[in-house]
Amino acid sequence: MKINFVFLFVTMFGVGKISKIPGSIASLITVFLLFVLFHVIQISINYFLFFLIIIFVISLVLINIYIKDNPNKDPKEVVIDEFIGQSIPISLYEIAHATSHKQKEIIIAYFIMFVLFRIFDIIKPYPVSYYDKNFKNSIGVVMDDVCAGLYVVAITVMYMVFIS
């Protein structure tokens, strides 16, 4: 297969071609990348959210191109959707905790969000399963991970309300 921009984009520069658990590895790389962006480089959350929206839109187009001739409409090597889905709860966590920078708390929160995201992405509760089963295109590939990310947000918010 010829390596091109579409392949590099949808596989997160080849991460999706890792033979074992490429989705989990892509999610974990996303967690580390976001930690570095937000807490080492200290990029503005507004810039990142703008970037995430652009990645979302480009993903919808490029995933359709990538899966066009593929009988499997959600191939395991397509992991840009994990980046998008995992980024949602972490970004919203960063917005909610803009003034809190206790390293230990951040690392624990990121780890919990990673685990929860992977659980929701794997077990696919409704509406995650709805998108996964009913849309055999880029909408289905991306939106199931967006929904899994929103489930993590909901659990995180409920936890924060419960402890306060």
* Through-space distance between the first and last CA atoms of the chain, rounded to whole angstroms: 53
* 155, burial (CB in 10 Å: exposed 0-12, middle 13-18, buried 19+): middle
Closest CA to 59 of 16, 103, 108: 16
Tell me which residue range forms the domain holding 39.
5-163
**Alpha-carbon torsion (91, 93, 95, 97), positive or negative:** negative
pLDDT-above-90 percentage for the chain: 82
Tokens of 38: 């937000």
Per-residue pLDDT at 40:
93
pLDDT in tens, 38-57: 999 999 999 999 999 999 99
In the chain, the number of structural domains is 1
Give the HSE-up count for residue 134: Cα atoms under 13 Å, Cβ half-sphere: 9
pLDDT of 164 above 80: no
Q: Which two tokens stand for residue 16?
A: 């999706």
pLDDT at 69 over 90: no
Q: Contact 8/95 with Cβ under 8 angstroms?
A: no
Q: Is the pLDDT of residue 23 over 80?
A: yes
CA distances from 31 to 24, 48, 56, 60, 78 (A): 11, 14, 17, 22, 17
* 113 token code pair: 């969000």
Cβ contacts of 48 within 8 Å, gap of 6 or more: 34, 37, 38, 87, 91
